[in-house]
Amino acid sequence: MSDRRTGTAGRPRVVLVTGVSRYLGSRLAGRLAADRSIERIIGVDTVAPRGEQRQLLGRTEFVRADIRNPLIAKVIASGDVDTVVHLNVIATPTGAGGRTAMKEINVIGTMQLLAACQKAPSMRRLVVKSTTAVYGSSPRDPALFREELAPRALPRAGYAKDAVEVEGYVRGFGRRRPDVTLSLLRFTNFIGPTIDTPLTRYLSLPVVPTVLGFDPRIQLCHEDDGLEVLRRAVVEEHPGIFNVGGTGVLLLSQALRRLGRPALPVPSPGVSLVARAFRGAGVVDFSPEQMRYLEHGRVADVTRLREAFGWCPRPTAEAFADFVASARPPMLDPEVAAAAERTILDLLTRGRVAPAPSPGVLGA
């Protein structure tokens, strides 16, 4: 974890992490705690970290506070905080206690936090986790979204709409405090052996419902790489908006085949019914805007991240392979399939050595 920076002026001294009892928050705080150049790490959340999360935190000081409460301003002022990492923008209503509460936490929480940051003279750096969902998902989308491209269809509901509003407030903060370095990180969907997101739950269903007649391109970010980007945004200096995700894409159908899960194509009008059933059963929490994602997909261009950070998350396919390795064994193992291919060929050609299949043979 060495840093190439020469001066110490840009290094954070006191870092405040919101949403520290959650997956990313606890792990990021743990990584920062391992960095001895940072004096203090203050973790804030409404609930105390549980067993595993607590162990990850290391020397992080936990403050039980609600960012919707002006109390947060006292924490920032009294702690002389110079870097704030805002991870408390949550994607699913189930963990928050309903959609209304989720919106409260996301939007009102961000407003309060930013108001507190604006008043704090010690503030030097603000890192905000956002999502590529702000680009929406429509048939009129370009193949890859660059950071400056305006979405063709603004998200109208759910997490994506919250994220759009959060970004609006963050931009407002940036105008009022131009002396604070602002890093806005738009993450693609996370994947990995340990993280629990609507997407990983969806992909873990025994039979995966898809939208009939659509096959979206998906882009993934490995959990470890996402944390590394956050860490670098904290300890290095990277002002601007960045898409964060792996290069390359997988088609949903292709991902399911690699995972060895059967797909269940559902006609578009029936999809919302199925989604509601899953939501009711508490299996997967898929909002309507994520349903649109299942039709049209979304891919972001990560060139700016690679150039500014000098580093890039591993490709989508590799990140997904790590998830596949940890998932339930597929119905049809690729090695079994390869063996079956050889056996069938042997049987049909009666023991003669088959040539290596060359591409284009079938099309000739």
Partner 1 sequence: MPERHAARRPDNVIPLREDVVAPVPGPAGPAPEPADWERRLAGGLAFLRRRITGDYPVDDFGFDADLTEHVLLPPLRPLYDTWFRVETRGLDNVPDTGAALVVANHSGTLPLDALMTAIALLDHHPASRHLRMLAADLVFALPVLAPLARKGGNTLACNADAERLLSGGELVGVWPEGFKGIGKPFRERYKLQRFGRGGFVSAALRTGAPIIPCSIVGAEETYPMLGNAKTLARLLGLPYLPITPTFPLLGPLGAVPLPSKWIIEFGEPIETASLGGAAAAEDPMLVFNLTDQVRETIQSTLYTLLMQRRSVFF
- Rule CB under 8 A: say whether 142 interacts with partner 1: yes
Q: By CB under 8 A, how many residues form the interface with partner 1?
A: 55
| Per-residue contact flags (x/-) with partner 1 for residues 175 to 214, judged by CB under 8 A | ------------------------------------xxxx
- Rule CB under 8 A: say whether 146 interacts with partner 1: yes
For the residues of 238-266, what is the DSSP string, one character each? --EEEEE--SS-EEHHHHHHHHT--EEEE
Amino acid at 105: I
Terminal Cα-to-Cα distance of the chain (whole angstroms): 53
User: CB 217 → partner 1: shortest distance, Å?
Assistant: 5
Q: Which of 11, 86, 103, 217 binds partner 1 (CB under 8 A)?
A: 217
Distance between CA 261 and CA 267 in Å, rounded? 19
Q: Which of residues 287-306 bind partner 1 (CB under 8 A)?
A: 295-296, 299
- Rule CB under 8 A: say whether 360 interacts with partner 1: yes
- Tokens 């050609």: give the residue: 349
Q: Which of 215, 237, 318, 322 binds partner 1 (CB under 8 A)?
A: 215
Q: Which of 14, 38, 249, 294 binds partner 1 (CB under 8 A)?
A: 249
User: CB 322 → partner 1: shortest distance, Å?
Assistant: 15
Alpha-helical regions (H) of the chain:
23-33, 51-57, 71-79, 93-96, 99-103, 109-119, 158-176, 198-203, 223-235, 252-259, 268-281, 288-296, 303-309, 316-326, 334-348
User: CB 48 → partner 1: shortest distance, Å?
Assistant: 42
Binding span for partner 1 by CB under 8 A among 55-63, 83-91, 137-145, 187-195:
137-145
Distance between CA 138 and CA 30 in Å, rounded? 38
Reduced DSSP (H G I as helix, E B as strand, rest coil) percent helix, strand, coil of the chain, to 5: 45, 15, 40
Q: Which of 9, 207, 325, 361 binds partner 1 (CB under 8 A)?
A: 361
- Rule CB under 8 A: say whether 248 interacts with partner 1: yes
